[in-house]
């Protein structure tokens, strides 16, 4: 059942202050002294201090809590290439999630540019202002070139959430699913429907947990990716099987795990029945999964099922990742978000799923109970504990791997995060109330 109507969604975005975000000053400017410190002449002292020691930019400006969400609107959600202006509501929404879940400030930058080299040039020029870059909704294969080049050339974290966010959350789910079904990653036969940015990033990430490339069967819109094909880009060619093994239905026979990042309706109940015992199915196409939760469970009572939807168990939701990953990266003033930091985030989420679920989370979802098992392998998105598990894990990995420019006491950091979020929620709630909006 839909939670809202189209008219309600449009009104939500248009009433009061148009859009979903607003820039608000955090220092007083009510007296001549305030004005003199905020701008001239007092600001000159701050400029001189930063000029003498650039690290002070994190102390005297908002750089250390500011992320740019950059998109060209070429691959927006399930809407495709709708352009930068039509995609802007998504980028504003990303800013809301950053703020609500991790108290990270965002400027959304939707740019009218498709040339990857010009996108790279643009983003590189942002480095003095921002503590991190979240690339969003840039289509494949250009997104690979854009992200990798920026990672190599910039000294702040660059993270393409369409790739790594999905990989990290589904990776956390995979850790739990393997545990619950008594499987080893190196033995898993993995079938993937989809070969875009998210599918490729997920597969690479699963390999870091032990999944073997020889056991990966990836399908794009033209069929199985194999070495006999001449239409493969470099990223797809990484996962080419030695020979053609047939259709999706053929390859699904005996498969341990299915990952869907394609379109709805790709998987039938017969395909599910043909899989190995206790099959793992992550059907992430939105809004319609590759196979519905109801159909998959009707076909096999022993299935471990996840989707991208919030109205079914085990939602693979990127909001469990990016706010907290950037929180940990920003707070350590990291120069990058590396693989160890991503792995740490996935492991932290998988570990949290085994913890008792507090009453406030159950209440938020209208549940009477919830515990680790086939219907709970991934923490709920509204679980306030996620920041205290994921951000410190990311921060620890940043410090351990040498990309952190600031060392944290992790025990104290967890307390600081809890207090920070309590204050932020109260402040944001009070601010929103001033508009008198009721949804």
Q: CA-to-CA distance for 125 and 358, rounded, in angstroms?
A: 44
Which one is catalytic: 6, 20, 88, 94? 94
C-alpha dist (Å) from residue 101 to 22, 96, 298, 336: 17, 8, 35, 21
Helices within 53-108 (DSSP H only): 57-60, 84-102
Q: Residue 293 catalytic? A: no
User: Which residue pairs, CB below 8 angstroms and at least 24 apart, start in 234-243?
Assistant: 234/141, 235/140, 235/141, 235/144, 235/195, 235/200, 236/195, 236/200, 238/200, 239/195, 239/200, 239/203, 239/213, 241/217
Q: What angle do CA 300, 354, 164 make, to 5 degrees?
A: 80
3-state class of 338 per DSSP? coil
Q: Is 94 a catalytic residue?
A: yes
Inter-residue contact 175 to 348 (CB < 8 Å): no
Annotated catalytic residue within 12, 33, 39, 435: 39
**78 bridge partner residues:** none
d(CA 398, CA 337): 8
Taking the C-alpha atoms of residue 257 and residue 181, their distance in angstroms, rounded to an integer, is 11
Residues 6 or more apart from 354 whose CB is under 8 A from it? 176, 372
Q: How far apart are CA 144 and CA 160, in angstroms?
A: 9
Q: Which of 188, 171, 198 has the alpha carbon at shortest distance from 263? A: 198
**Alpha-helical runs (H) found in 181-292:** 197-208, 234-237, 248-252, 269-273
The 105-110 sheet, strands edge to edge: 105-110, 66-71, 132-135, 158-160
Name 67's bridge partners.
106, 132
Return the CA Rg of the chain.
23
Contact 110, 91 (CB under 8 A): yes
Active site residues: 39, 94
């Amino acid at each position: 059942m839909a939670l809202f109507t189209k008219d309600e969604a449009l009104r939500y975005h248009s009433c009061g202050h148009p859009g979903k975000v607003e820039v608000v000053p955090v220092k007083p400017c009510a007296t001549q002294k305030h004005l003199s410190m905020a701008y001239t002449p007092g600001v000159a002292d701050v400029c001189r201090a930063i000029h003498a020691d650039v690290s002070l930019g994190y102390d005297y400006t908002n750089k250390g809590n500011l992320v740019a969400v950059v998109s060209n609107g070429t691959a927006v959600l399930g809407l495709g290439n709708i352009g930068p202006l039509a995609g802007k509501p998504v980028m504003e929404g990303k800013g809301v999630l950053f703020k609500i879940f991790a108290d990270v400030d965002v400027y959304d930058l939707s740019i009218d540019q498709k040339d990857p080299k010009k996108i790279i040039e643009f983003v590189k020029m942002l480095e003095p202002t921002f503590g991190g870059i979240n690339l969003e909704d840039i289509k494949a294969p250009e997104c690979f070139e854009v992200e990798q080049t920026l990672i190599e050339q910039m000294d702040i974290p660059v993270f393409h959430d369409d790739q790594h966010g999905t990989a990290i959350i589904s990776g956390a789910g995979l850790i739990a699913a393997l545990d619950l079904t008594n499987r080893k990653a190196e033995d898993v036969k993995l079938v993937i429907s989809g070969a875009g940015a998210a599918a490729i990033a997920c597969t690479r990430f699963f390999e870091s947990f032990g999944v073997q490339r020889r056991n990966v069967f990836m399908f794009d819109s033209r069929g199985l990716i194999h070495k006999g094909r001449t239409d493969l880009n470099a990223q797809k060619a990484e996962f080419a099987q030695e020979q053609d093994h047939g259709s999706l239905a053929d390859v699904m026979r005996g498969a341990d795990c299915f990952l869907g990042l394609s379109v709805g309706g790709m998987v039938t109940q017969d395909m599910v029945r043909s899989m190995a015992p206790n099959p793992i199915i992550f059907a992430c196409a939105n809004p319609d999964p590759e196979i519905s939760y109801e159909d998959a469970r009707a076909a096999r009572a022993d299935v471990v099922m996840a989707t991208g939807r919030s109205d079914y168990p085990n939602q693979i939701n990127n909001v469990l990742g990016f706010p907290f990953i950037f929180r940990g990266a920003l707070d350590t003033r990291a120069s990058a978000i590396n693989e160890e930091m991503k792995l740490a985030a996935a492991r932290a989420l998988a570990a949290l799923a085994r913890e008792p679920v507090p009453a406030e989370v159950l209440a938020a979802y209208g549940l009477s109970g919830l515990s680790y098992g086939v219907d709970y392998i991934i923490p709920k998105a509204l679980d306030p504990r996620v920041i205290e598990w994921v951000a410190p894990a990311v921060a620890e990995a940043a410090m351990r791997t040498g990309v952190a420019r600031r060392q944290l006491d992790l025990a104290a950091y967890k307390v600081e995060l809890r207090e920070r979020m309590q204050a932020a929620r109260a402040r944001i709630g009070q601010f929103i109330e001033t508009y008198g909006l009721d949804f």
